[in-house]
Amino acid sequence: MTTAPNLPPNKVAFIIDNEVVDIIHTDDRLAAIFLSEPLMVDVTDIEDGVFISSTYNPETGTFTAPQED
């Protein structure tokens, strides 16, 4: 018999059109982010990069890098 791997403490289901399409195990921080219903934006092709704490302008679809202290 095999034992279950040591999984993170939270399970989050992704639901599209009232159907569960995936379930992930995650830590508290990422679970809280997903469950806060964030706006999700594909930033794959943004050449200047997007960084944690950048500000997003939904009217222009642009990001502003965070200011250094």
Residue 33 domain-assigned (yes or no): yes
Q: How does pLDDT run across 15-62, given as a tens digit for each residue?
A: 999 999 999 999 999 999 999 999 999 999 988 889 999 999 999 999
Residue 69 domain-assigned (yes or no): no
**Domain assignment of residue 40, given as a range:** 10-64
Residue 1 domain-assigned (yes or no): no
pLDDT at 1 over 70: no
pTM for the predicted model, two decimal places: 0.75
* Cα 31 → chain centroid: 9
In terms of Cβ atoms closer than 10 Å to its own Cβ (0-12, 13-18, 19+), residue 54 is middle
Report the number of distinct structural domains present in the chain: 1
* CA torsion through residues 47, 48, 54, 56, sign: negative
Residue 32 domain-assigned (yes or no): yes
55, 66 Cβ separation under 8 angstroms: yes
